[in-house]
């Protein structure tokens, strides 16, 4: 015999699932603009608050090496961007384009600033820099919980040396 309560509960859950998926997508879609706004405002605390405590950074490159043993990925990421702000104290970040799907959002960011502090080990040159990154974030509870990305480190170094 069919349990009507169980059947109705299952149907209600199935009907709500698209709404839940849409809510996660809306939550994810907001992250790139909040990311860019926090960095453009040079508000490193607001920037750090975008990341979950158990955040995982899958990006590994010369520009974003693995954190030293015992350093949480969130702390390493915040320190990386704090160093970027120190090297480019007039940094402005904008979202070129973004696309959200489910709990993930991909974005292309544009960074513009003047090299007025040590950045990537290079003494200040006074040069105006413009570079991009493409990033994918997985969002849970309104925070970034995972990141995959690529920054234009070669382009940055070419501008610094050119």
**Confidence band for 37, pLDDT divided at 50, 70 and 90:** very high
pLDDT for the residue numbered 81: 95
State pLDDT tens for residues 133-145. Answer: 999 999 999 999 9
Considering the segment(s) 4-161 as one domain, its CATH architecture is: Roll (3.10)
pLDDT score, position 60 = 77
pLDDT, tens digit (0-9, with 9 covering 90-100), for 95-125: 999 999 999 999 999 999 999 999 988 999 9
pTM of the model: 0.83
> To the nearest whole number, what is the mean pLDDT of the chain?
87
> Is the confidence at residue 4, as pLDDT, over 90?
no
pLDDT in tens, 7-30: 445 545 555 555 545 666 667 889
Q: Where are the domains of the chain?
A: 4-161
End-to-end Cα separation, the chain, in angstroms:
78
- Residue 7 confidence (pLDDT): 45
């Amino acid at each position: 015999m069919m349990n009507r309560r169980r059947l109705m509960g299952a149907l209600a859950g199935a009907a709500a699932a698209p709404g839940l998926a849409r809510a996660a997508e809306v939550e994810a879609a907001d992250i790139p603009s909040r990311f860019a706004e926090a960095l453009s405002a040079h508000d490193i605390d607001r920037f750090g608050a975008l990341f979950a405590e158990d955040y995982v950074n899958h990006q590994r490159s010369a520009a974003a090496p693995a954190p030293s043993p015992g350093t949480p990925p969130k702390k390493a990421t915040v320190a990386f961007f704090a160093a970027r702000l120190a090297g480019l104290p007039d940094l402005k970040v904008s979202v070129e384009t973004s696309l959200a799907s489910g709990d993930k959002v991909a974005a292309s960011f544009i960074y513009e600033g003047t090299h007025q502090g040590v950045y990537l080990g290079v003494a200040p040159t006074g040069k105006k820099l413009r570079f991009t990154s493409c990033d994918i974030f997985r969002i849970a509870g309104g925070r970034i919980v995972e990141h995959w990305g690529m920054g234009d480190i070669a382009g940055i170094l070419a501008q610094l040396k050119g």
